[in-house]
Amino acid sequence: MDCPSESKMIESLFEREEGVKQINFDFGKREATFYHEVKCSFVLEKLSSIGLKGELKESEEVSDSEIVVEESQVEAKTLKILLGINFGMFVVEITLGIIAESTGLLADGLDMFADSLVYGVSLFAVGKSLSLKNKAAFFSGTAQVLLALFILFETVRRFITGSEPLSDFMIIVSVVALAANITCLALIHKHRKGEVHMQASWIFSANDVLANIGVLIAGVLVYFTNSNLPDLIIGAMISIIIIRGGINIIKLSKA
């Protein structure tokens, strides 16, 4: 077992097998640990049926209470931290975005809210079946696209009615948000090739870093040009990034 795509195949293969309770993957060692009530030969035959060759390294009897759930616990802990960071930054960016009349900060704040939703849904998906994980990813992607459309509408509205963004607010808040999202990216890094709901979380965090850098650059440009156009442009660009990320998540959910 040498890649996440194979792990998805294996999960799909055994999803409806009541005799297989849990599967843990170790990509580094190219190993999979099965917790099952069926014979070992049955597991090997099922793997062989989809062209995956495997060998039994060891087998031991365990009770239900001893089934290893460490990976799910690690994922849940990571997602809780990500949820807290993103929701906190959502409140900060939306509040200061309104005060600063910055489309970029508002867009980034709504992006943070979308991510909070994603991490919340992903947290729900931890330990659940593959089908539920895929549904969680699809819901997250759809929510992201819808929020991006709202941001585009707000950008157009401000272009027509006008705005006077405060560059100092944009620069300071974007630096804080960038630090927060780099922290999130570091936390989710080891899960980036895991199951679909964790892959979705990685994509969102990576997109956030790009968006924060964009707002920072826009803030500097607003300061030197005294124009609202950089702020409006970055708002539109973040919307496009969000839409692309949402579409990628939807595709992952159907893979």
Asked whether residue 60 falls in the same domain as residue 79, the answer is no
Asked whether residue 62 falls in the same domain as residue 119, the answer is no
Query: Do 205 and 82 touch, CB atoms closer than 8 A?
Result: yes
Q: What is the mean predicted confidence (pLDDT) over 93-116? A: 89
Name the domain count of the chain: 2
Which of 232, 233, 190, 183 lies closest to 209 in space, CA to CA?
A: 183
Model pLDDT, residue 28: 63
Does an H or E element contain 35, and which?
Answer: strand 31-36
What lies within 8 Å, CB to CB, of 180 at 6+ separation is 85, 86, 88, 89
Asked whether residue 42 falls in the same domain as residue 57, the answer is yes
Asked whether residue 160 falls in the same domain as residue 216, the answer is yes
3-state secondary structure of 36: strand
Show the domain range for 50. 4-66
Question: Does the predicted model carry a pTM greater than 0.75?
Answer: no
Q: Which of 12, 42, 66 is the last residue of a domain?
A: 66
Asked whether residue 157 falls in the same domain as residue 210, the answer is yes
Query: Do 158 and 228 touch, CB atoms closer than 8 A?
Result: yes
Most confident of the following: 176-180, 197-201, 251-255: 176-180
Range of lowest pLDDT (17-21, 57-61, 70-74):
70-74
Q: What is the mean predicted confidence (pLDDT) over 104-122? A: 82
Asked whether residue 116 falls in the same domain as residue 146, the answer is yes
Asked whether residue 19 falls in the same domain as residue 130, the answer is no
Asked whether residue 144 falls in the same domain as residue 237, the answer is yes
Looking up residue 235, the CATH number of its domain turns out to be 1.20.1510
Around 172, how many Cα atoms within 13 Å sit in the side-chain half-sphere?
A: 8
